[in-house]
Amino acid sequence: MRGRCLDLVHKLAKTDERIVFLGSDLGFGTLKKFREELPERFIMEGINEAHAIGMAAGLAFDGRIVYVNTIATFLTRRCYEQVAMDLCLHKANVRLIGNGGGMVYAPLGSTHLAIEDIAIMRALPNMAIVAVADAEEMERLMPQTVDWPGPLYIRLAKGYDPIVSDPAIPFVLGKGMEIQRGKDVLLVTTGVTLGPAKEAAKLLAESGVSCGILHMHTVKPFDNGLFLDMAQDVKAVISVEEHTILGGLGSAVAEILAETPFARQPRFKRLGIPDVFPDKYGTQNQLMGRYGINTNTIVSTAKSLLS
């Protein structure tokens, strides 16, 4: 997913002179062809993310469309004030590409886990947030980012994730994606959780449970209209995210459910990382399993809510 994303930045830059790439402390070989072909629009900053964001804002004010890439924790936590004041306040056309969203860097421990990045970016006015399911969905996303008005945070998974998206379903930045309709349970996903949700829906169907799936690749702006249309007649709603349950996808869903007068209020459960710093090392899948961000937990949660 990361490689596809960065290759597309290069591809787009070759056809649009406004596009500039700005990397922060990335490997020397990153986007080597971009560096060789468009050196005047390739910038590699050092370990100074706040300065990188300020530089990106300045370029954007001069009419450029800037793609900034580094590790997600550094891009969100470390330069938060600059993101807020330099980008969001001025609606700067800067695209922040965060490597390793969620628990991708599980072998490196809590310092590198971007478990709250969606929440802190979601709190900023004018910031849009996207987390696609796989590399093919990334390919459908990137051309739409060029002329998106204002700043955009693009959350990357680790790469080589299973392809679970369907090219037959239109991908529109800023809108939700109806994967399938269901009468009993609605599963709301973002990023790589689409895969486990689709598997869970198949297992639940075998036991007579009808599942809808709403893939919110764009967490902000949240597609309230599509969500309410798919949630109005179900008995339960489950949000599934590789992120803390505080402030992210689950919170967005909860806010809408709480503020909407349903004829019959659906039961609701957030699946994600609890209010903790993950304290174990391992693989991404191991940590996701530890916190129940997987197919089996979705299935058991759906059955529990329905009972």
pLDDT tens by residue, the chain, 307 residues: 989 999 999 999 999 999 999 998 887 778 899 999 999 999 998 889 999 999 999 999 999 999 999 999 999 999 999 999 999 999 999 999 999 999 999 999 999 999 999 999 999 999 999 999 999 999 999 999 999 999 999 999 987 889 999 999 999 999 999 999 999 999 999 999 999 999 999 999 999 999 999 999 999 999 999 999 999 999 999 999 999 999 999 999 999 999 999 989 999 999 999 999 998 899 999 999 999 999 999 999 999 999 9
**Is the pTM above the cut of 0.75?**
yes
Residue 14's Cα: distance from chain center in Å? Answer: 26
pLDDT recorded at residue 175: 98
All domains of the chain, ordered by start, with CATH?
2-155 (3.40.50.970), 177-306 (3.40.50.920)
Q: How many Å apart are CA 253 and CA 263, to the nearest integer?
A: 17
pLDDT recorded at residue 304: 98
pLDDT recorded at residue 46: 83
Q: How many Å apart are CA 85 and CA 54, to the nearest integer?
A: 9
Amino acid (1-letter code) at residue 242: E
Tokens of 97: 């590409």
Neighbours of 196 (CB within 10 A): 23
Residue 174's Cα: distance from chain center in Å? Answer: 12
pLDDT recorded at residue 159: 76
Closest to 22 measured CA to CA, from 95, 130, 78 = 95
Cis peptide before 221 (omega within 30 of 0): yes
